[in-house]
Amino acid sequence: MRHVVIMAGGSGQRFWPLSRESYPKQFLTLYGNRSLLQYSYQRARHIVPPHNIYISTRSGLETTIRKQIPSLGKDRLIVEPVGRDTGPSIALTCLWIMRKDPEATVMLLPADHYINPTNRFTETAKHALRLAEKTNSIVIVGIRPTIPSTAYGYIQCDLTGGKKATYEHPVLSFREKPDLATAKQYLMEGNYFWNSGIFVAKASVMMEQIQDHAPEIFKLARLLLDLPVSRFRARLKTVFSKMPKISFDYAVMEKSKNVVMVEAKFEWNDLGSWSSLDELPGLLKDENILMGKVLPLGSKGNIVSVGKKLAVLIDVKDLVVALTDDALLVCHKESAQKVKQAVMSLKKGKYASYV
């Protein structure tokens, strides 16, 4: 049976001050009239029925998730007792689903991405699911790059060994976020794709790959598989806290020789920082992106979010201005990636309560 798991445990620090530890990016409405999590759930419903949709998250976010997705089934919320990154998180998710459906095929979908249009996403998702069902591969969705971006990881594919008609290509390697010169080279070579972080595979294949490439995670996760629900929950924190903190990309994907990429047929953006909003169609208004009551006079290229307050901008350009009841961010758009560094500094100092 097919299942979709929405990965909603991130912190989205680069969208501070709107995004906080207790109310991260996936809960924000950055475009349209829904939060990023609500849009993800809506997309998932085009792939599988509601009882086959799960949300994986970290402890402390359960109440907000239930408020935003009130129809989510009681046992469809998978809560990590402590943060251990996506490697242990995906192991826990596969175990959770395999307890009821050992033959499950799972699609892991980040909660905080921009994807459009839904029908083309659905087409790509079902294609990836079919491929995963008939093979023992991990299928990853790749995005054909439009610019030499340094903000994304890349997937190197063998375009001669796949199926061009169905957009399926064997994966040769995964590459970290490159410098600009390398990103330009990737774009020119044509066989590098942005890594969307959307994974599809049989749950059993995921666990086999974890066993092969991250045995420490598998050994601990395996202790939970055959436990009854009451003992599973009781032992989860003890077992999970012993797992190494590592991403699924590092733990498995970069080592596996059993990965196939399906090329996306939809528009995509991982919304990694305030400046990424510039790339979303339809947000530009009067040469600025404005959220709230904003009067821009002689100003352009700005991204402004002020909640219920009024902001007046005079003769400024290319700024990010984000205001909440207790904090204000002002930076150049080209420095938006540094917001995460600012948040880390806040955590270490006397302003930690503002994170």
Instruction: Kindly list the domain boundaries of the chain, sorted by start residue.
Output: 2-272, 275-354
CATH architecture of 2-272: Alpha-Beta Complex (3.90)
pTM above 0.85, yes or no: yes
What span, in angstroms and rounded, lies between the C-alpha atoms of 294 and 16? Answer: 19
How confident is the model over 2-16, as a mean pLDDT? Answer: 94
Q: Give the burial class of 61: count Cβ atoms within 10 A of its Cβ; 0-12 exposed, 13-18 middle, 19 or more buried.
A: buried
Q: Quote the mean pLDDT of the chain.
A: 94
Q: How confident is residue 256, by pLDDT bands cut at 50, 70 and 90? A: very high
Q: Higher pLDDT residue, 238 or 143?
A: 143
pLDDT (0 to 100) of residue 164: 63
How confident is the model over 332-339, as a mean pLDDT? Answer: 95
For helices 215-225 and 86-98, what crossing angle results, to 10°?
30
- Lowest-confidence pick of 143-152, 161-170, 174-183: 161-170
How confident is the model over 314-342, as a mean pLDDT? Answer: 96
What is the DSSP secondary-structure string of 174-223? EEPPPPHHHHHHHHHHS-EEEEEEEEEEEHHHHHHHHHHH-HHHHHHHHH
Angle at 59 between CA 57 and CA 64, to 5 degrees: 70
8 Å CB contact between 37 and 27:
yes
Residue with tokens 């790959």: 209
Q: Higher pLDDT residue, 16 or 73?
A: 16
pLDDT (0 to 100) of residue 162: 63
pLDDT (0 to 100) of residue 282: 81
Q: Give the burial class of 229: count Cβ atoms within 10 A of its Cβ; 0-12 exposed, 13-18 middle, 19 or more buried.
A: exposed
pLDDT (0 to 100) of residue 6: 98
pLDDT (0 to 100) of residue 128: 97
pLDDT in tens, 150-161: 989 999 999 987
Q: How confident is residue 226, by pLDDT bands cut at 50, 70 and 90? A: confident
In 3-state terms the chain splits into helix, strand, coil percentages (rounded to 5) of 40, 30, 35
Q: How confident is residue 233, by pLDDT bands cut at 50, 70 and 90? A: confident
Q: Which two tokens stand for residue 299?
A: 């100003």
How confident is the model over 298-312, as a mean pLDDT? Answer: 95
What span, in angstroms and rounded, lies between the C-alpha atoms of 56 and 345? Answer: 28
Q: How confident is residue 191, by pLDDT bands cut at 50, 70 and 90? A: very high
Outline where DSSP puts E strands in the chain: 2-7, 53-58, 77-80, 105-110, 114-116, 138-143, 154-157, 168-175, 192-202, 259-263, 267-269, 289-297, 303-314, 319-323, 328-332
8 Å CB contact between 258 and 275:
no
What span, in angstroms and rounded, lies between the C-alpha atoms of 148 and 105? Answer: 34
